[in-house]
Homo-oligomer: A and B are copies of this chain.
Amino acid sequence: MDSSKDYSKLCIHTITTKPWSLAEAVDNYAMAGVKGITVWQNSVPDKNFEAAGKLIRSHGLEIISYCRGGFFTEPDAEKRAHAIEDNKKMIAEAAALGAPILVLVCGSSPTQSMEDSRTQIKEGIEALLPIAENAGVKLAIEPLHPMYADNRSAINTLGQANDMAEYFNSKWVGVAVDVYHLWWDPDLEKEIARCGGNDNLLAYHICDWKIPTTDLLLDRGLMGEGCIPLQKIKNWVASAGFDGYHEVEIFSNHYWQMDQGAFLKKIMEAYDEHCL
């Protein structure tokens, strides 16, 4: 890669290059000059998180986050308790990996009200908080686009995530800002400033919104090929005091079918052109 480019804040989610094993991803990211990696649970199939952490660090990569906990909502109390146990395991996995943050996709259950789901999310985070603090792993509430309100998240705006984070008022709970979910929100600038001002802005995820979008889940775009105002949002995030990594998180059947080396090259070009 061109050494004149600044990739010092570029992080890639392992799921972005899903066809690669963790070892392949780490090798290729490091060779290309990527500095950060966010690890998805399914990229460590042998569950040896300590070894995965060592492998990543030995290639000079920094681990930014671990994805993804949450899914706290469930009408059945026993199943809710089970979800909390799963999240405790994920906090331990994050700690073993050496990831400072666990990202939470909070959950939503269509057979109950959104209000009930939101209450259960609060209860879930409450139960995890001492575990997270003890493990030294921060919990990042990620608001999801309203098109995922049915069964993925009942937290659909940054305003809601900020409310939740401020309710806990703990350095161990904050929010993750993903442009894909939030770009349309007329309150976005204000809410980014709010979470930055409260030291709750833990993570920043980038990709793009394609026109047309042909699949609700697996048709995210590469930065620059859609309509998200990436420069504007990047500036809002910087103005809010965030100086962490810019994490490329793209779920895309289209890109997963490509040669992943060529895709990585495209990611780095797109990052250079649209995100710096």
Contact = CB atoms under 8 A, between A and B. Distances in A.
Interface string A244-262: 0000000000000000000
Interface string A125-160: 000000000000000000001110111000011001
Contacts of A147: 145-147, 213, 216
A186 interface: yes
Nearest to A229: B113
Interface residues of A, number: 28
Contact of A211 (B113, B150, B160, B211): B150
Given A212-B216, A216-B216, A184 B227 contact: no
A251 B232 CA distance: 34
Contacts of A186: 114, 118, 156-157, 160
A19 interface: no
A6 interface: no
Contacts of A214: 216
A145 B185 CA distance: 11
Contacts of A216: 147, 212-214, 216
Contacts of A160: 186
Interface in A179-226: 183-186, 209, 211-214, 216, 226
A110 interface: yes
A50 to B, nearest CB: 37
Contacts of A145: 146-147
A185 to B, nearest CB: 7
Interface string A226-237: 110100100000
A233 to B, nearest CB: 11
A214 B214 CA distance: 9
B113 A150 contact: no
A149 B184 contact: yes
A104 to B, nearest CB: 18
Contacts of A211: 110, 150-151
A102 B36 CA distance: 52
Max chain B CB contacts within 10 Å: which of A150, A212, A213? A150
Nearest to A232: B113
Given A184-B156, A186-B160, A150 B110 contact: no
Interface of A: 110-111, 113-114, 118, 145-147, 149-151, 156-157, 160, 183-186, 209, 211-214, 216, 226-227, 229, 232
Q: Which 7 residue pairs across A and B have the least CB separation, nearest first?
A: A110-B227, A149-B184, A146-B184, A147-B147, A150-B211, A146-B146, A150-B227
8 contacts: A110-B211, A110-B226, A113-B229, A150-B227, A151-B211, A156-B185, A213-B216, A214-B216
